[in-house]
Each structure stands twice: as C-alpha cells, then as structure tokens.
C-alpha cells in the first residue's frame, strides 16, 4: 500500500501570512484562494501559470472567500457582512449584514453545504470567552440563522455520509452532529490531544486536520460517528491553520499557516505549503445565488 503523503511539504511562494486561513481550490480556474485575516488580504495562486500569485485588499476580519455558481464571483465572509466579490472589477456588493446577535465577535470558519447554503462560525476575537456560534445563510435569506451558540473557537466544517463534523479548538474536541439545517444536536464529542484547527476531507472519508501549535497534520478515518486516528505528518511551520486538496486530480494538499503570536517566527511560519499525496479530495462546493 502506498503511503498517503508521498512528498515532503514544499513552500509555495514567498508570502508569509500573519493569520493564513480557509484555503479553497477553484477547479474552473485551477487556482487556490486563501485569506490573511489579520492583514486583510485575499491571496490567489495559479500553480500552472508560472507560479503566479496575486494579492487583493479585503474588508476587516475577512475569514473566508468562497466559490459561487458564477465564475470569478466569490463570497466573502467578513465582520461587516457577507459580500459578493467580483474578481475582475474588484467590486464588493453586500448581500447580508453580520448577525445582530454576534456583535463583539468576528467570523472564523466558513464552508458551503451540500445544498449550496453558506455555513460560518463566529468567535471572540481574543479567544477569551465562549461567544461564538454557528450560522447558516441560504439563497433568499435576509439574515443568517443561528444554529449553535456558546462556542469558543469553532473550526473544521465538513459533511460526510449524513453527518456534520466540526471542531472547537479551545475545547480540544471534534464534534459530530446529524445533518439538520435547523440545529446541530445531538452531538457526539471526540476529545483529541492538541488544538484542532481547519481540515480537508477525502472522498473516502479521511479527515486531514491541521494541528495548531504542533507542526503537524493528523489524518483520521470517519466511520459513522466514529473518528479514528491513522497517522500524522510533520510540517516546517509551528501553527498550521487549515488545509484543502487542489490540483487537476485534487491530490495536492495545500496547507495554510500563521505567524500570529510568535515572538520569534521562523522564515517559514505563515507560509503556504504543498504536499503531494495518494489521496483524492472532495471538490469545493458553490454558493447558490
């Protein structure tokens, strides 16, 4: 059996993020998008176009830029609302305000659900209180619907075989819930060692988790509501923050990282990494406009 990770992590480009997050692979353009939340930037990388890398300014606390049904129109999740971003013109159109009941927080994790709705989390910017929640915004909604409150640092969001998987980094725990659009109960908790941050999902239910502060990725197998650790991969960054599959066959694993909070960051902390694998990732979904 071939090992899942068949190359050492390579550093992509020279940009080092203060808080790199939410990598998304766009199959239509063969490019990777991710954000630097604290430096208010959208970054975009075309590996097949002479390693081209572009940067764009974003509104404060933009935690994710996701795909929509319209090519080159992206969904930006920020502290001042949910917006449509036209990449060609740079125009930003707000389609929904930030939740009224989420004042004093910022957005964190975000992903598109199988039905085309946006799900996103909020958190205390200082991560000192359980002020966070999970929200859902579908086509035609005037405001996001709150699904679950009293979260510390909500991370990882994936749907697999009728279940929703997410994490609370501060609680060092993964959770599994039934696929309900109106609530996230009942929950099955899976405590883990370390701080689970963002994750990627394979087509056969393997969850690849970025372990903040531990310089590694941890690979799990999902089976029903069970989570089984398989192995891990060391990384040349202290704070990996999230990961996603990209490339023509969705077998290249891209990993974001952060320099935030490090008094003496290394030259690689905050960099984007790429790992060649024998795995196949789940394609990114489109927000239904």
Residue range 111-147, pLDDT digits in tens = 999 999 999 999 999 999 999 999 999 988 999 999 9
Percent of the chain with pLDDT over 90: 93
What mean pLDDT value characterizes the chain?
95
Residue of 91, 18, 106, 99 lying closest to 57 (CA atoms): 91
Q: What is the pLDDT of residue 120?
A: 98
Q: What is the mean pLDDT of residues 78-107?
A: 96
Q: Which domains does the chain carry?
A: 10-276 (2.120.10.30)
- Residue 183 CA to residue 180 CA, distance in Å, equals 6
Contact 173, 190 (CB under 8 A): yes
Q: Which of 5, 99, 34 is nearest to 255 (CA)?
A: 34
Q: Are strands 132-137 and 145-151 parallel, antiparallel or unpaired?
A: antiparallel
**Cα–Cα distances in angstroms (integers) from residue 255 to residues 51, 131, 208, 218, in the given order:** 16, 27, 10, 12
186: buried, middle or exposed (CB in 10 Å: 19+, 13-18, 0-12)?
Answer: exposed
- The pLDDT assigned to 3 comes to 86
Return the pLDDT at 187. Answer: 85
pLDDT of residue 183: 65
Confidence class of residue 2 from pLDDT cuts 50, 70 and 90?
A: confident
- Mean pLDDT for the stretch of residues 52-79: 97
* CA 288 – CA 273 distance, rounded (Å): 30
User: Is the CB of residue 67 less than 8 Å from the CB of residue 30?
Assistant: no
Contacts of 221 (CB under 8 A, 6+ apart): 205, 206, 207, 227, 228, 230
R_g of the chain, CA atoms, integer Å: 17
For residue 62, pLDDT over 60 is answered with yes
Average pLDDT value for residue range 61-82: 97
pLDDT, residue 181, reads 57
CA distances from 279 to 134, 186, 208, 225, 263 (A): 29, 31, 10, 21, 36
pLDDT in tens, 141-190: 999 999 999 999 999 999 999 999 999 999 999 999 987 656 676 689 99
**Distance between CA 176 and CA 222 in Å, rounded?**
10
Average pLDDT of span 34-60:
96
What's the average model confidence in pLDDT over 16-35?
A: 98
Q: How far apart are CA 271 and CA 259, in angstroms?
A: 9
The whole-number pLDDT of residue 207 equals: 98
Distance, in Å, from the CA atom of 260 to the CA atom of 264, rounded to the nearest integer, reads 10
- The predicted pLDDT at position 170 comes to 95
Mean pLDDT over 55-73 rounds to 97
């Amino acid at each position: 059996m071939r090992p899942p990770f068949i190359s050492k992590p390579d550093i992509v480009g020279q940009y080092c993020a203060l808080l790199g997050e939410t990598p998304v692979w766009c199959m239509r353009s063969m490019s990777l998008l991710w954000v630097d939340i604290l430096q208010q930037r959208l970054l975009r990388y075309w590996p097949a176009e002479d390693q081209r890398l572009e940067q764009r300014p974003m509104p404060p606390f933009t935690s994710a830029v996701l795909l929509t049904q319209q090519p080159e129109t992206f969904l930006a999740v920020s502290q001042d609302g949910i917006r449509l971003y036209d990449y060609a013109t740079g125009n930003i159109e707000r389609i929904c305000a930030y939740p009224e009941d989420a004042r004093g927080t910022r957005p964190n994790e975000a992903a598109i659900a199988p039905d085309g709705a946006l799900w996103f989390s909020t958190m205390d910017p200082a991560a000192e209180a359980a002020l966070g929640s999970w929200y859902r915004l579908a086509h035609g909604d005037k405001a996001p619907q709150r699904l679950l409150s009293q979260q510390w640092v909500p991370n990882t969001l994936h749907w697999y075989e009728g279940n929703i998987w997410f994490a609370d980094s501060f609680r060092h725990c993964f959770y599994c819930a039934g696929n309900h659009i109106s609530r996230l109960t009942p929950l099955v908790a899976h405590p883990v060692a370390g701080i689970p941050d963002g994750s990627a999902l394979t087509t056969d239910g393997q969850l690849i988790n970025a372990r903040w502060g531990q310089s590694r990725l941890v690979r799990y197998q999902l089976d029903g509501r069970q989570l089984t650790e398989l192995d891990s991969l060391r990384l040349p960054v202290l704070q990996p923050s999230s990961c996603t599959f990209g490339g023509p066959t969705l077998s290249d694993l891209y990993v974001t990282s952060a320099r935030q909070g490090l008094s003496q960051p290394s030259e690689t902390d905050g960099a984007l990494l790429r790992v060649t694998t024998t795995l196949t990732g789940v394609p990114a979904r489109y927000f239904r406009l």
